[in-house]
Amino acid sequence: MKHLIPRGKLIAIGGNEDKGTYPTVRSKRQYYLNFFELGILKRVVSESGKADPRIEVVTTASMIPQEVGPIYIGSFAMLNCHNIGIMDIRTPADARQPEYLARLLAADVVMFSGGNQGRLREMFGETDFLDAMLRRYRAETHFVIAGTSAGAMAMSQHMIRGGSVPDALLKGAVKMGPGLGLLPTAIVDSHFVKRGRFGRLIEAVSLYPKLIGIGLGED
């Protein structure tokens, strides 16, 4: 099947991205460079083509959304972005609310937090929300979809739902399921180096040999 090249921007992040909340290097100058000039959240903003884009952070995958949401609001505020909304969608019924669809259609950036990638498919699968997001991604040049950790993994058409690292090379140990369908030709795994997920991705790709395996390191 031929896949058209989408016009929108897709930014997959391996997890534990620099949110500017604490210095990780001794040099203040290096800290400034890491977050304000070279940081991945800075790239998310710049790809929108706007200095202060409308950003919607989707915390659905997280089990601690009350903590995750404010962290992203603070991080983007440090980048002079103040038009931020939090979509804490907890049920499929929530995902079908007209309010969330309207906010999606008005957003320049949609950012999916980490957590449990299976929740993203369970909440958004076969909804107008997902259909509208896919349409915008395919058609709009400056529409940005970013996802970190579980948010990146859910971008796949065929998504890794789970599977422990020690058992990853055993047939059937890696659990697969449908994702959001943003990446129909690839399978994404996150925290790739730090959590030793090479074997898990090999097993996933062996199940779908026509797909590319993408292992994302943190930040």
Q: Domain of 51: which CATH number?
A: 3.40.50.880
Q: Is residue 140 part of a domain?
A: yes
Give how many domains the chain has, as a whole number.
Answer: 1
**Of 17-26, 83-92, 180-189, which range is least confident?**
17-26
pLDDT band at 173 (very low <50, low <70, confident <90, very high): confident
Full residue range of the structural domain in which residue 71 is found: 9-215
pLDDT number for residue 24: 53
In a domain, 1, yes or no: no
Decide if 3 is inside a domain. Answer: no
172: left (phi over 0), alpha (psi -120 to 50) or beta: left
Residue 142 has pLDDT above 60, yes or no: yes
Q: Mind listing the pLDDT tens digit for each residue in 115-133? A: 999 999 999 999 999 999 9
Highest mean pLDDT among 1-15, 72-86, 94-108, 185-199: 94-108
Number of neighbouring beta carbons within 10 Å of residue 159? 25
Nearest to 79 by CA among 127, 118, 103, 47: 47
More confident residue, 30 or 186: 186
pLDDT > 70: what percent of the chain?
A: 85
Domain assignment present for residue 131? The answer is: yes
Which tens digit of pLDDT belongs to each residue from 90-104? Answer: 999 999 999 999 999
Token look-up 């395996």 returns: 213
For residue 31, the Cα-to-chain-centroid distance in whole angstroms is 24
Q: Is 78 domain-assigned?
A: yes
- The single-letter code of the amino acid at 123 is M
- pLDDT given at position 217: 87
Distances (CA, A) of 78 to 14, 15, 42: 22, 20, 10
Structural domain contains residue 75: yes
Q: Which residues of 16-26 are buried (b: 16+ CB within 10 A; e: fewer)?
A: ebbbbeeeeee
User: How far from the centroid of its chain's Cα atoms is residue 33's Cα?
Assistant: 23
User: Residue 18: pLDDT above 90?
Assistant: no
- Within 10 A of 102 (CB to CB), how many other CB atoms are there? 11
